Amino acid sequence: MRSRMHGWRWRKNPLRRRSDVVEAWTALAVAVLLLVAVPLAGAVAGLWAHDEAQTVAVQQRTERHRVRAEVVGRVPENLPSADGVRQRTYRVTVSWTPPGGTARTAEARVPEGTHKGDLVDVWFDAHGRSVPPPPTGTAVWQHTLTMGACAAGGTAALVLLGHAVIRRTAMRHRLDEWDREWARTEPEWTRRRPA
């Protein structure tokens, strides 16, 4: 003989406690939050981050200009890279001639592996300082996805943490309810008189 156990917290039965009902409603709320609120939080944070990153990229593109320059300064020896993922850069003197202008030199960051006499693209701000290039479309989307994933993950963690706290509280109340019930029922089962 098989009994149905699914949904027992929703149906009336003598073993169901108020804490069981609270836990059942909490599980439903958690499922809805995980399916709706988590993706929504990720999407909203991603859209916000995309707008911000796009604004910064456009602003930096207007404030910075790229120059094709020749490396004229002493290039340091290739140093061993600390990590194989990012390419290291170092400062070196570069020279270029703007259209209709005189030759100029400045210190700029160039990628590792650049040699004296190489032509490199360097970026300068309005004050002539060497600056990193403005973010590309790929960098904007990486930022967008990272922020969206972090917001979704943080929201999911918060929901699951809240669920764990509620379950723990429900378990404590359930045990208290069972203790009260046993205190009432024990004398009938053990034939002892209450103290």
**pLDDT, tens digit, 9 for 90 and up, residues 66-107:** 888 888 887 776 555 555 556 677 788 888 887 777 888 888
pTM (2 d.p.): 0.68
Per the rule left: phi > 0, alpha: psi between -120 and 50, beta: everything else, 113 is: left
| Chain mean position to CA 81 | 27
Handedness of CA 161, 167, 173, 176 (dihedral sign): negative
Place of tokens 């070196």: 92
Partners of residue 66 on adjacent β-strands: 123
Backbone angles phi, psi at 107, to 5 degrees: -85, 135
- For 13-22, 56-65, 128-137, 178-187, which range has the lowest pLDDT when averaged over its residues? 13-22
Q: What is the pLDDT of residues 104-136, one digit of tens each?
A: 888 888 888 888 888 888 888 888 788 888 899
In one-letter notation, the amino acid at residue 112 is E
3-class SS of residue 122: strand
**Lookup result for tokens 């709320």:** 29
